[in-house]
Amino acid sequence: MKPEATDLTVTIGVVDHVSPVLRRIGRKLWWMRYGALVTATLVIALVVLAFVAGFLLAANVDAKRHHAVTAGESISVAAVAFGATGTVSYTSADPVPWAEIRCDAGFGLDLDTWLDVFRGNVTFTAGPTTSWSSGPASCLAILWHFDDGSWTELARTTFEVTP
């Protein structure tokens, strides 16, 4: 059916204006719904920021207390055969040094052994491990100082494990 010129057409438009009262009510409802979440997020962010700042300040203070590396620090390991016992020799002014032995036989870090050399524990076994069943390896011996939760490298040397 075709509209006639006598029909009344009514157009309902979209309201572009929201009263200030409705706007305030909307803000209150939003804050009531999300305010606790926003507040909790801000508190957590401030706590994390304070923790990071405290950690950085503590790291700066700790850095000043660490053992100073002197020219007399050294570590050495003579070449050792696979499966045999190797011996670490070291010189250090540190009263409690540690030694780390790392060996790579071509499969990544195949041996990583820590020795409390200050207690006289100066020997290690050069394989086998789960990833290193035989053959040569290139190794690194590192002399470490430990203080207040931090490690400081004192000296390092390389050596070989023969097949």
List the alpha helices (DSSP H) in the chain: 20-65
pLDDT score, position 118: 87
Count up the domains in the chain and report the number: 2
Same domain, 98 and 130: yes
- CA Rg value for the chain: 35
pLDDT score, position 37: 75
Residue 118 CB contacts under 8 Å (≥ 6 apart), including other chains: 94, 95, 96, 97, 98
Could you report the per-residue pLDDT of 90-124, keeping only the tens digit for each? 999 888 999 999 999 988 888 999 999 988 889 99
Same domain, 116 and 88: yes
Domain membership of residue 154 (yes or no) is yes
Domain membership of residue 8 (yes or no) is no
pLDDT score, position 41: 80
- Residue type for 41, please? T
95: alpha, beta or left, given left = phi > 0 and alpha = psi -120 to 50? alpha
Residue found under tokens 């620090």: 73
pLDDT score, position 61: 45
Domain membership of residue 5 (yes or no) is no
Residues of the chain where predicted confidence (pLDDT) is lower than 50? 60-67
Same domain, 158 and 86: yes
Predicted TM-score of the model (pTM): 0.57
Domain range for 58 is 17-65
Same domain, 93 and 53: no
